[in-house]
Amino acid sequence: MSDAGVAAVPIAITGVSKAFGPVQALADVDMSVRAGEFVSVIGPSGCGKTTLLKIVAGLVSADAGRVTVGDRTVRGPGRECSVVFQDFALLPWSSAQKNVEFGLLLQGVAPAVRQERARRAIARVGLTGFEAAYPAQLSGGMQQRVGLARALAVNPQVLLLDEPFASIDEQTRRVLQDDLLRVWSDERKTVVLVTHSMDEAIYLSDRVVVLSPRPGRVHQVLDVPLPRPRELGDVRASAAFAGLVDGLWKMLRKLQ
């Protein structure tokens, strides 16, 4: 479904700090994401994970430091990035098709092209046949599929995910994780995922960035040397997976 000529790009975060009034959310964060890499960010509640993601997306300005996405210094939202939120953020008065078209509409894409790209994105996330359904007619998992399709339809180089599966039941969550891995395997976009789930971080990622308690700083970066494609095997049942999750839990417990 990717358009020709669109390649993943790296992300560089250098010395990023952010405060909200007297509350220092982030302090001197340095991290990088390679082009086409899948990186998760995890840490104690309130450590600034979502704030960091929004700074990368250009939705929040840093007080200090610099973020580059590819060759662009982030000073506001750019076409390189698409964001998928925890709360789906769908337009309740629009069908699934129109919701997926929305980003393309904002970009001024012609109606016929917009409709076709949205249909392809909907098919990519397994929702063919639900194009005319409204959000209230869809389950939580299906709504999040619409949100993912909307993000993919604009063919971004970077996909930013803010706890996209947090409000979904465990069975649906695992299915969507595998669907996301299939999309990533096919398109190799650069992905940054914010999550509270240790299992999710290990299962999906090439590396896991662990933030310290507020103000958030990079405490450690963990490599995840599990074989891919993970969605086609039984990675979760392996001793290696269990060991990585346990190690991450012990680290987070010490940070609490």
Q: Binning pLDDT at 50, 70 and 90, where does residue 148 land?
A: confident
Residue 65: phi and psi, rounded to 5, are: 95, -175
Q: Can you give the residue range of the structural domain that contains 16?
A: 1-80+192-256
- Helices 170-187 and 140-153 sit at what angle, rounded to 10 degrees? 20
Contact 38, 174 (CB under 8 A): no
Taking residues 149-153, report their average pLDDT: 88
What pLDDT shows up at residue 65?
96
Q: What is the DSSP letter of 110?
A: -
What pLDDT shows up at residue 90?
86
Q: Binning pLDDT at 50, 70 and 90, where does residue 161 land?
A: very high
In a domain, 173, yes or no: no
The pLDDT of residue 171 is above 90: no
Specify the 3-state DSSP secondary structure of 40: strand
Name beta bridge partners: 158: 81, 190
Question: Residue 29 sits in a domain of what CATH number?
Answer: 3.40.50.300
Residue 206: phi and psi, rounded to 5, are: -85, -40
In a domain, 92, yes or no: no
In a domain, 167, yes or no: no
Taking residues 193-205, report their average pLDDT: 96
The pLDDT tens digits for 59-111 are: 999 999 999 999 999 999 888 998 888 877 888 999 999 999 998 888 888 99
- Among 81, 181, 183, 77, which residue's Cα sits nearest to residue 125? 183
- Percent pLDDT > 70 in the chain is 98
In a domain, 108, yes or no: no
What pLDDT shows up at residue 175?
87
In a domain, 103, yes or no: no
Cα dihedral 87/189/194/15 (nearest 10): -130
In a domain, 100, yes or no: no
The pLDDT tens digits for 227-241 are: 998 887 789 999 999
Q: What predicted TM-score, i.e. pTM, was given to this entire model? A: 0.90
User: What's the number of domains the chain is made of?
Assistant: 1
In a domain, 171, yes or no: no
Kindly state the tokens that stand for 208: 């896991």
Q: What average pLDDT does the structure give for the chain?
A: 91
The pLDDT of residue 168 is above 50: yes
What pLDDT shows up at residue 124?
83
In a domain, 249, yes or no: yes
What pLDDT shows up at residue 1?
39
